[in-house]
Every structure is written in structure tokens, then in C-alpha cells.
């Protein structure tokens, strides 16, 4: 079970035009790819070099499928897919690629991950 710290800070909220306490997750550190691979290799007893090569292959597979309009199911982790934001129009003649304002890669966590998130212990700090 994980544990996180939520910090409440006083900030101006434009909607209410007053200072209010806003909560956000305290991020302890940014774990880089190398650290992640080292940790995973140690805990699963796999050679680091092999894991590094596999990580690159997995990453390339994800971006290849996603950038070609497929959703990628990563089992107990979640699903990656392309998401778009575009302007709505009134008739079919107006439809063109320029209406697409934003394309991005989205991630939807699996039910297992959602369950793990729900079990996280939260420490509140102000």
C-alpha cells in the first residue's frame, strides 16, 4: 500500500475572488528512467542490460501503435490511446484537418491500479 502527502496551501481562487486552501500532492522526487530500470532489475532479479533493451522495445511498441490510432492495452497497468480536441462545425463542407486543435496521448489506468490508488494512505499537511 502506498502513502502520499497532500499539502494544503493558501492560494487566490479567481472564481471566488478570495484566498482559499488548495490541496495538492507533494511530489518527493522525479524518478528517472535509469533509476526505474535499476530498481526493477534488482527487485525482479533480471540483468539490467536486458531490462534496458526491453524497456526501449516496449516504449517503441507503445508509441508505434498509439500514433497509428490504436489503443494499447498494458494489462494490469492500463490503456494508452490517442486523444484529440477539435472545433465543432455546423456542416460537412467545413470539416478539415485544421479543426483539430490538439492531439495528445492519454492514459487510462486499469481497475487494479484504481484499486491500489483507493487504498493509498494520505497524510494531510498545511
Partner 1 sequence: MEKGQVNINFKKCRIAYNDTEKLVGRAVRYSTIPYSDVISYAAQAASVPESNIEISMEALFDALNYFVMNGHNVQIPHLGTFYLNVRVKSTTTKEEFVANFSKNLRQISICFLPDPELKAKIASTAINTQTDEQEGDVISEAG
Residues 26-65 that bind partner 1 (CB under 8 A): 26-33, 36-37, 39-41, 43-44, 46, 50-51, 53-65
* Residues numbered 78-117 forming contacts with partner 1, rule: CB under 8 A: 78-84, 86, 88-92, 94-100, 103-107, 109, 113, 116-117
Query: Least distance in Å: CB of 33 to partner 1?
Result: 4
Enter the C-alpha cell of residue 52.
Answer: 534496458
Closest C-alpha to 126, from 12, 29, 24, 27: 24
Enter the C-alpha cell of residue 41.
Answer: 532489475
Rounded CA-CA distance 34/48 in Å is 10
Among 14, 17, 111, 126, binds partner 1 (CB under 8 A): 126
* Residues numbered 4-23 forming contacts with partner 1, rule: CB under 8 A: 4-6, 8, 10, 13, 18, 20-23
Residue 122 engages partner 1 in binding (rule: CB under 8 A):
yes
Q: Which string of DSSP letters, residue by residue, matches 90-121? A: SSGGG--GGGEEEEEEEEEE-HHHHHHHHT-E
Distances (CA, A) of 2 to 94, 97, 106, 116, 125: 50, 43, 24, 8, 17
Query: Least distance in Å: CB of 12 to partner 1?
Result: 11
Among 14, 17, 49, 74, binds partner 1 (CB under 8 A): 74
Amino acid at each position: 500500500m502506498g502513502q502520499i502527502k497532500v499539502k494544503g496551501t493558501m492560494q487566490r481562487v479567481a472564481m471566488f475572488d478570495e484566498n482559499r486552501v488548495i490541496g495538492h500532492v507533494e511530489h518527493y522526487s522525479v524518478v528517472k528512467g535509469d533509476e526505474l530500470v535499476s530498481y526493477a532489475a534488482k527487485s525482479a532479479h533480471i540483468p539490467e542490460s536486458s531490462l534496458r533493451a526491453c524497456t526501449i522495445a516496449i516504449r517503441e511498441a507503445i508509441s508505434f501503435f498509439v500514433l497509428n490510432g490504436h489503443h494499447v492495452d498494458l494489462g494490469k497497468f492500463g490503456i494508452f490511446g490517442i486523444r484529440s480536441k477539435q472545433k465543432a462545425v455546423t456542416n460537412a463542407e467545413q470539416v478539415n484537418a485544421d479543426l483539430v486543435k490538439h492531439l495528445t496521448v492519454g492514459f487510462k489506468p486499469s481497475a487494479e491500479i484504481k484499486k491500489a490508488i483507493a487504498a493509498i494512505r494520505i497524510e494531510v499537511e498545511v
